[in-house]
Structure 1
Amino acid sequence: MEGIKDINRIKVVLVEKKRSNKWLVEQLQKDPCTISKWCTNTSQPSLETLLKIAELLDVNYTELIRADFLNKNN
């Protein structure tokens, strides 16, 4: 399962939207370490959480997933 580790773009989209990890922690009421792990792709959020993040950031959920990962696995 090579390459699966770096599938999300949460940190990139947070930067694009001028939001911080701390902001996401507050919005989701999650532990800061959990958010940090998602932003560094150490672990991945559930699909439900990914959809909530997309809603909070006002983006389509596909913007939170690397396009090459989506294309490779279709």
Structure 2
Amino acid sequence: MQERINRIKEILVIQGKSQKWLAEQLGISATAMTAICNNRAQPHLRDLRRIAEILDTDVRELLVPTK
């Protein structure tokens, strides 16, 4: 089972936005975004911050808390 590190997929669902839309905003492939949303890959911190800006949320909301 994949360890869940990010909550990007959850935030997209809450906001009613698609993975494809976010991939287009970031300028990455839909396949890369799917891997990120399914926690098979993790975005670079720079990209994580950009995702937070695009989704108008705190970067901490995109991550699964450790405590």
Alignment TM-score > 0.5, same fold: yes
Q: CA deviation at 1:6?
A: 1.3
Structure 2 length-normalised TM: 0.92
Quote the Cα distance in structure 2 between the aligned partners of 1:29 and 1:54.
15
2:26 is aligned to: 28
- Stretches of structure 2 that go unaligned for 5 or more consecutive residues are none
Moved over 2 A (4+): none
- Separation (CA, whole Å) in 1 of partners of 2:23 and 2:41: 15
* Unpaired segments ≥5 residues, structure 1: none
Match of 1:43 among 18, 41, 49: 41
1:65 is aligned, of 58, 63, 66, to 63
Tell me, in whole angstroms, the C-alpha distance in 2 between the residues paired with 1:31 and 1:42.
15
In the alignment, which residue of structure 1 is the partner of 2:10?
12
Percent identity of paired positions between Structure 1 and Structure 2: 41
Q: Select the structure that is richer in helix.
A: 1
Structure label with greater radius of gyration: 1
CA RMSD across the alignment: 1.2
SS in structure 1 opposite 2:31? helix
